[in-house]
Chain A
Amino acid sequence: MDRRTKQGIMNFLQSVKLCFSFFLSLGKKSRRTKVFYVISFVPILMALAIKLAQFFYSHRDISGLAIFSNMIMVFYLQFLILILALFFGTSLCSEELEGKTLTYLTTRPVPKSAIILGKYAAYTFLTIIMTGVGLLFTFLILNLDNLLDFSLYVLFLRDLVVLWLGLICYTAFFTFIGTFLKKTILFGLLFSFGWENVIQYFPGSTQRFAIVHYLKSLLKVPTSGGFSFLLFRLEPTPPGIAVLMLLLISGIFLFLACLFFSQKEYILQD
Chain B
Amino acid sequence: MSIKEKGYSHWNGEFKQGGLSWLPIVRWGIRLTFRKKFFKLLFFISLIPAIVFLVGIYISERLDDFRFMIRESTDFVQINPAYFKIYFTNDFLLFMMVMILVFCGAGLIADDLRHNALQLYFSRPLKKKDYFLGKVSVITFFLFLITLVPGIILFLMKLIFSGSFRFFASYPWLPVSIIIYSVFVTGFFSFYTLFLSSISKNRRYVAIFIFGLYIFSDILFGIFYGIFRSQYFGLLSIKSNIQQVGAAIFNQRTPYDFSWILSLAVLLLFCLLSAVVLNKRVRGVEIIK
Contacts and interface: CB of A to CB of B under 8 A. Distances in A.
B205 A32 contact: yes
B219 A74 contact: yes
A86 B38 contact: no
Contacts of B225: 226
A87 B205 contact: yes
Describe A's contact surface by its main secondary structure: helix
B228 A53 contact: yes
Contacts of A124: none
A226 B228 CA distance: 10
Nearest to B42: A186
B208 A87 contact: yes
Size category of the B interface is 20 to 34
A74 B223 contact: yes
B204 A226 contact: no
A50 B224 contact: yes
Given A70-B223, A83-B212, A193-B215, A185 B204 contact: yes
Nearest to A86: B208
B199 to A, nearest CB: 9
B78 to A, nearest CB: 30
B36 to A, nearest CB: 9
B220 A46 contact: yes
Given A50-B227, A226-B225, A227-B226, A91 B204 contact: yes
Contacts of A90: 204
A227 B229 CA distance: 12
A86 B204 CA distance: 10
A225 B227 CA distance: 6
Nearest to B220: A46
A266 interface: no
B49 interface: no
A142 to B, nearest CB: 10
Contacts of B174: none
Interface string A74-94: 110011000100110011001
Contact of A98 (B202, B223, B227): B202
A121 interface: no
A226 B226 contact: yes
Contacts of A152: none
B121 to A, nearest CB: 22
B219 A75 contact: yes
Given A75-B219, A83-B208, A87-B205, A186 B38 contact: yes
10 contacts: A46-B223, A59-B227, A74-B219, A74-B223, A75-B223, A79-B219, A91-B204, A98-B202, A185-B208, A225-B227
Question: Which 5 residue pairs spanning A and B have beta carbons closest together?
Answer: A226-B226, A225-B226, A185-B207, A83-B212, A185-B204
Given A71-B223, A75-B223, A83-B208, 18 more contacts: A32-B200, A46-B224, A50-B227, A59-B228, A62-B227, A70-B226, A70-B227, A74-B222, A79-B212, A79-B215, A87-B208, A90-B204, A98-B204, A185-B207, A189-B207, A193-B211, A193-B215, A225-B226
